[in-house]
Structure 1
Amino acid sequence: MRVRRFLVTAAAAIAGMTGLVATPAHAVAATTLAGTIALSNCSASLVRYPSSVSSDRAMMLTNGHCYEGGFLSNGQVLQNRTSSRSGTLLNGTGGSLGTVRADRVLYATMTGTDVALYRLTSTFATLQSRYGATALTIASSRPAAGTSIAIPSSYWKRIWNCKVDAFVPQLREGDWTWRDSIRYDTACDTIHGTSGSPIVSASSGQIVGINNTGNDDGERCTLNNPCEVAADGTITVSQGQSYGQQTYWFTTCLNASRVIDLAKSGCLLTKP
């Protein structure tokens, strides 16, 4: 998983680069760090549903494995849990706009997908007025193979640009299994600390997934070494390959009040 790890080594590698933003492998619409939120151990973003309104409480999205209580067990789902998580809201160039705080975990899991969605104490309108901040919209549909994407990491203040290479029926890492995982092409060689970064469509500017892991050492299905499991059960290991998980599932579970309802027909999020 791409949670912060071996920071001294990683920081040295970053320092040796000529710039903080990776050179795009393809011509894509510019994605900045605006709307991203830096956490102590991960990346995150300020998000809204397609149906959100300005008076709604703003939300923060990161990985389930970035949850402040530690890794969630296989099959574990958190919903409507009290939280005091805080992060630093960034502008387009990575400068600090201020601190945002959560008061509730709306939904979190590391099973099926790898997400933690928080409710913030401020509304979208308040953050817009105070900081000029606009939330990224969680797309309501699955991305397509070949989609040009950007992965802005608030932790490293760096942006990766690449394309969706393919989808993996099952991705296994340690005790966890994720479904319909997003595999990037080699230009998105994300590193530890990028966990929780949004996967942003270059054409729409909407969030089409969330970055969460990559195979570090070439091991098979171990922690920090996910393996791909095909529909026929064949296991493939690709050292250096990075992956993300689905986020449009949130939109399949919303009721008329824009509240996550896991009992809603067609809801794709993992149930307890």
Structure 2
Amino acid sequence: MRKPLVVALCALAMTGAGAMPAVAAEAPPTSADTAAATGTTTTGTTTTGTVMDTVNGVLDSLSGLTAPKAGAVNFAGTVALSNCSGSVVRMPDAEDDDPALVLTNGHCLESGFPGPGQVLTDRASSRTFSLLNASGSRVATLRADRLLYATMTDTDAAIYRLSTSYARIKSSYGIDALTLDDSRPAAGTSISVVSGYWRRIYNCSVDGFAHRLKEGDWTFKDSVRYTPECNTIGGTSGSPVVDSATGKVVAVNNTGNEDGERCTLNNPCEVDENGQVTVRQGINYAQQTYLFPACFGPDSKLELDASGCLVPKP
């Protein structure tokens, strides 16, 4: 769980914070986000307004360099957080007038990492997100009204509910939400990891799956392992992993082994069914999202007791 270099340096200098688990971190806020959130930018407990605005300006200047080709996976519907990436997502059976949802990592929460075994549900939130269009330009600031779900147990995911609907986002900005696939991806699937933080798209394939992925105090189940082409970096945490053929989200990007260490923060290890540990330096991972559609009902309501909902519960 890695923070972008500038964000990490600010946090270390101002709070003495240590390293995050190897998943990538959130994106710097826009000036619109800053104004909407009381004139300053908050990363954890650190106020960093001027530095973050400067970083965001640099990212905007680079965004045009990564404009996607027509017909390819692009940035439309992705978002930048104050320290991570994310995306506006909808369940397969969602209605257009349902409140829109944003997917990112559990370790990208404003309040810090959920502890092992901790599941957070239905919490007030006023977090803001910079909505991107197909070329990676910011077109709007979206605001959450609830954190519906967040955990780093078995998976690494957070889902926010926005104060606007899918229909309003579409009518105002011409942008559709990304649909969560309710089927498990297969090895060999071509995928794109789309980072709103860096306005960068990584293209590779699903190399396989880690039975257990252990990183520090956290353990993730059935994690997606990328082929080496998806060399994701700090700032890509929470990026949607998109099936290149269907355009549906099959996972959320979250971590990678940076230094070849064994099962430490920023250096997850794989543990198979027999307890055998494998370290793959330079390889990155994501957490599958196909379980979430069964846990949401009408009006984007979280229904953890629904039949087929198998995500961790409080």
Q: What is the TM-score with the length of structure 1 in the denominator? A: 0.91
- Report the equivalent of 1:200: 242
| Residue type of the alignment partner of 1:124 | Y
Alpha carbons 1:62, 1:117 under 8 Å: kept:
yes
Question: What are the equivalent positions in structure 2 for 1:1-272 lying under 5 Å apart?
Answer: 1-5=1-5, 20-21=65-66, 30-255=72-297, 258-272=300-314
CA deviations on 1:235-260 (whole Å, 9 max, x unpaired) are 01111110000111101223466532
Equivalent position amino acid for 1:231 in 2: E
C-alpha separation between the residues in 1 aligned to 2:68 and 2:248?
21
The runs of 5 or more residues in structure 1 that have no matched partner are: none
Secondary structure in 2 matching 1:248: coil
Could you tell me whether the CA contact under 8 Å between 1:3 and 1:41 is conserved in 2?
A: yes
Structure 2 CA distance for aligned equivalents of residues 201 and 138 of structure 1: 10
Output one character per residue of 1:74-132: Cα deviation in whole Å (capped at 9) or x when no partner: 01111110001101100111111010000101111010110000000111111111111
- Match for 1:188: what amino acid? C
Equivalent residues, number:
263
User: Distance between the aligned counterparts of 1:72 and 1:201, measured in 2?
Assistant: 28
Q: Identity of aligned pairs, percent? A: 55
Give me the CA root mean square deviation. Answer: 2.3
Question: What SS is found at the alignment partner of 2:171?
Answer: helix
Equivalent residue letter for 1:85: R
Letter in 2 for 1:54: D
Going from structure 1 to structure 2, the CA distance change for 1:192 and 1:69 (only over 3 Å counts) comes to: same
Aligned mates of 1:174, 1:6 — CA distance in 2:
23
Q: What is the Cα deviation at residue 213 of structure 1?
A: 0.3
Q: CA deviation at 1:23?
A: 11
Structure 1 residues 68 and 253, CA, compared in 2 at 3 Å: closer, same or farther?
A: same
